[in-house]
Amino acid sequence: MSIRITQLSVRDIRFPTSLSLDGSDAMNSAPDYSASYVVLHTDAPGGLEGHGLTFTIGRGNEICVAAVQSLAPMVVGLTLEEIVADMGAFWHTITVGDSQLRWLGPEKGVIHLATAAIVNAIWDLWAKNEGKPVWKLLADMTPEQVVRCLDFSYVTDVLTPEEAIALLRRQVPGKAQREAQMLREGYPGYTTAPGWLGYSEDKMRQLAREAVEDGWTHIKQKIGANLEDDIRRATILREEIGWERTLMMDANQVWGVDESVANMRRLAAFEPLWIEEPTSPDDILGHASIRQRIAPIGVASGEHCHNRVMFKQMFQAGALDFCQLDAARLGGLNEVLIVLLMAAKFNVPVCPHGGGVGLCEYVQNIALFDYIAVSASLHNRVLEYVDHLHEHFLDPVVIRRGRYMPPQRAGYSIEMTAETLERYQYPGGQVWLDIART
Amino acid sequence: MSIRITQLSVRDIRFPTSLSLDGSDAMNSAPDYSASYVVLHTDAPGGLEGHGLTFTIGRGNEICVAAVQSLAPMVVGLTLEEIVADMGAFWHTITVGDSQLRWLGPEKGVIHLATAAIVNAIWDLWAKNEGKPVWKLLADMTPEQVVRCLDFSYVTDVLTPEEAIALLRRQVPGKAQREAQMLREGYPGYTTAPGWLGYSEDKMRQLAREAVEDGWTHIKQKIGANLEDDIRRATILREEIGWERTLMMDANQVWGVDESVANMRRLAAFEPLWIEEPTSPDDILGHASIRQRIAPIGVASGEHCHNRVMFKQMFQAGALDFCQLDAARLGGLNEVLIVLLMAAKFNVPVCPHGGGVGLCEYVQNIALFDYIAVSASLHNRVLEYVDHLHEHFLDPVVIRRGRYMPPQRAGYSIEMTAETLERYQYPGGQVWLDIART
């Protein structure tokens, strides 16, 4: 029985996180974590819906909402059946099919963020219709079925459909075993909770102590505003977490290339596993240069890497030790999958970008599929966890002793509660009316 | 006396060019050339205004308009004096200062296109206040004054302020002479008029013949939809323009890397000077690979190259024979200037992207300044000309025997007539009401 998408609605949802400096870093001093939140309505009996969101940090969310509205005619009226029959072709059409909208990117910035919200909502719809969480929907596919979801345009010089199938076939043995292992043990995570730049040193020390008590083995520090502060705060973190746990650092793009090298040479004494986003996310050759010059500190980037063509070059140039793809900066799960496969080919571990609002919910599905069916390795792989805003989801992430336990509910784990969607709507929801009044 | 920006207004202006297939190519089959059109209103007596636009091709222009509105608070209330006192710092602030808006790019896509419209409107305002066209405003600056307009973040590994000053100082001798030469002879151009993909072969032949009669020495063909068609159409063009004139080809991003090489080996018989946008505009390493494998055919790209970091790498990787920067894809004239300087350092000729609506009006100012003060060379430099929509401007480009004659009127040559702004407003202008009615 075919299910038709009858309507797309989109909401501007914002959380006033800037009031507490949650999520503060050297580039983003006071974000209001926000979502352009899409619902695909269908004619299925029982009111089956697909939910998806793209993450922004406040002002400008209204622009993404406008972009979703402009893209809506490309999905309304389609059936789920015809979309998933050749989802690679569908993805190509939504990114390239309206050349007037494509011009605004192409495949980057606002229009690509908006595309991600819609594409991910389709995955949510598909998974709900199959009665599985997205990671399981993917894990149950044959290599050929996965590859049919992909658009290989602009990447065939490093990955052909045939190679992609071969990469996936390689890991078919052991899939069931790894799935059982994940259900039992969960996927290893790390926390940024103590590390936000806007937190006082006392608060940071306290949160680091709690993180250790909670079983976290990997902790990330935000740096980049002031080097002497960074050193002092790293000292506190090492005091609290010891040297047997792992410290990572994240500069959120504030440095130039040579500056990154100079600063990381100073911070090398704290033995960080990686420096994340040392410079412009577009600077592929810059990341490669930094990586060569600061080894053995690894270079991590990807949350602002806007499409598969950029990741392709990151891999070709040897620019990354860790690939931190984002579930909604890339044009939705289809593009994420092709990046997972390229990463596997180049032997770069994928540690997706979490945090924000909903990103942890999304990326647990990605990391689980990556382990079960693509990389089959946990070496150097940790999934970001930030302990904000999970209470707004119907199926929030479950963390046990620093590990993500696989979600069980059908869908992409991204559906917010009805109450949240009402209260946090911007600017008319009660939360924002209350703030405006004070 | 200080001039304060009291208000920013923005209009959605669209021209129904898809009706005649003007501007049709392999990627963009039916564009409606459009502009997100900004006016900065001031408190200056006499109603001094700054005008600027960003170019889009139709649907989605409303998203850029929304982005301009979101950015408006960053300029309204400022004085022209404080902006131009340190315009590099101003540019840094408008691109990075609101981190919530920056997140939507960063420095790419819709938010950067919107930034360009505003930044260029400030240049228009500045030049009008000085009573000079923008090229002349720039040409009259000292090297230090030019460099004060630039933001070097993310590019100091290839260009420092000191180097930029040295590059400009090198060309101070001869500036007056080159300016006089330009006023006398104009800047060499090329035409895409005969080459649009949607035109019949008869129309193409006729337009090529007319282009030769009009004195054009360089003509560009749109290719990429079908190789056999491309060959047949190239044959017609060579019949009409002969071999003493220059033919260029433009694939508008439709190929992969290896496909580009294979196709250009077939088209090499027509001796094109360059292949433009063979593949994804983000594929720096792909362009470098194509360039190596198809020499002596040159590789040209840039109209979709979204910021200085991408151009920096294009130059570092040896990816381009011709740099085709865009006046509004980059974040306005400030970023254009830093790309001009990097191109000069790497000895890559700059042939800016013209066409669309208003782009020729913009880029004549850029090419003139480049010749007078930066490159001091016309070798391998031609400025794109497309003969559409100039009648909508107060100060349209003037072409004489295939050369751009320098504009004389104060400003950035980008102000549209009041009648056009009224009639072509979308969707309420008379032109669109008439189309809706038929």
Positions of B marked catalytic: 222, 353
Q: Nearest residue on chain A to B303, judged by CA atoms? A: A103
CATH of the domain at B388: 3.20.20.120
Q: Is residue A32 part of a domain?
A: no
Q: Is residue B406 part of a domain?
A: yes
Element (H, E) at B152: none
Closest Cα to residue B189, out of B395, B367, B394, B372? B367
HEC assignment per residue over B318-374:
CCCCEECCCCCCCCCHHHHHHHHHHHHHCCCCECCCCCCCCHHHHHHHHHHHHHHHH
Residues of A within 8 A of B16 (CB-CB) are: none
Which pLDDT value is given to residue A179? 98
- CB-CB under 8 Å, B70 with A108: no
Q: Is residue B193 part of a domain?
A: yes
In this complex, which of B70, B113, B309 lies closest to A60 when CB atoms are compared?
B70
Q: What pLDDT tens digit does each residue of chain B (438 aa) get?
A: 699 999 999 999 999 998 887 777 888 888 999 999 999 999 999 999 999 999 999 999 999 999 999 999 999 999 999 999 999 999 999 999 999 999 999 999 999 999 999 999 999 999 999 999 999 999 999 999 999 999 999 999 999 999 999 999 999 999 999 999 999 999 999 999 888 888 899 999 999 999 999 999 999 999 999 999 999 999 999 999 999 999 999 999 999 999 999 999 999 999 999 999 999 999 999 999 999 999 999 999 999 999 999 999 999 999 999 999 999 999 999 999 999 999 999 999 999 999 999 999 999 999 999 999 999 999 999 999 999 999 999 999 999 999 999 999 999 999 999 999 999 999 999 999 999 998
Which pLDDT value is given to residue A28? 80
Mutate to test the interface with B, among A32, A55, A71, A108 (most CBs of B within 10 A): A108
Catalytic residue among A222, A287, A304, A312: A222
Q: Is residue B313 part of a domain?
A: yes
Mutate to test the interface with B, among A34, A59, A94 (most CBs of B within 10 A): A59
Q: Is residue B96 part of a domain?
A: no
Average pLDDT of the residues in A285-308: 98
Q: Which residues contact A228 (CB under 8 A, 6 or more apart)?
A: none
Q: Is residue A276 part of a domain?
A: yes
Which pLDDT value is given to residue A20? 80
Which pLDDT value is given to residue B239? 97
- CB-CB under 8 Å, A110 with B110: yes
Please give, rounded to a whole number of angstroms, the shortest distance from the CA of A174 to a CA of chain B.
35
Instruction: Report the SS3 class of residue B283.
Output: coil
Q: Is residue A68 part of a domain?
A: no
Average pLDDT of the residues in A244-272: 97
Q: Which residues contact A29 (CB under 8 A, 6 or more apart)?
A: A197, A198, B99
- CB-CB under 8 Å, B64 with A66: no
Compute the mean pLDDT over every residue in chain A, rounded to the nearest whole number: 97
In the predicted structure, residue A21 carries a pLDDT above the cut 80: no
Return the minimum-mean-pLDDT range out of A27-31, A74-78, A384-388, B84-88. A27-31
Q: Is residue B372 part of a domain?
A: yes
Average pLDDT of the residues in A177-197: 95
Mutate to test the interface with B, among A21, A65, A100, A107 (most CBs of B within 10 A): A100
Contact assessment for residue B382 and residue B187, using Cβ atoms and an 8 Å cutoff: no
Which pLDDT value is given to residue B195? 85
- CB-CB under 8 Å, B289 with A157: yes
Q: CB count, 10 Å around CB of A228?
A: 8
What domain range includes position A320?
A: 169-418
Catalytic residue among A108, A128, A220, A353: A353
Residues of A within 8 A of B112 (CB-CB) are: 109
Closest Cα to residue A302, out of A369, A370, A353? A353
Please give, rounded to a whole number of angstroms, the shortest distance from the CA of B340 to a CA of chain A.
19
Residues of A within 8 A of B62 (CB-CB) are: 66, 70
- CB-CB under 8 Å, A307 with B100: no
Q: What is the ipTM of this complex?
A: 0.97
- CB-CB under 8 Å, B58 with A256: no
- Render pLDDT for A67-87 as a digit per residue (tens, 0 to 9): 999 999 999 999 999 999 999
Domain count across chain A:
1
In this complex, which of A153, A282, A317 lies closest to B309 when CB atoms are compared?
A282
Please give, rounded to a whole number of angstroms, the shortest distance from the CA of A248 to a CA of chain B.
22
- CB-CB under 8 Å, B101 with A59: yes
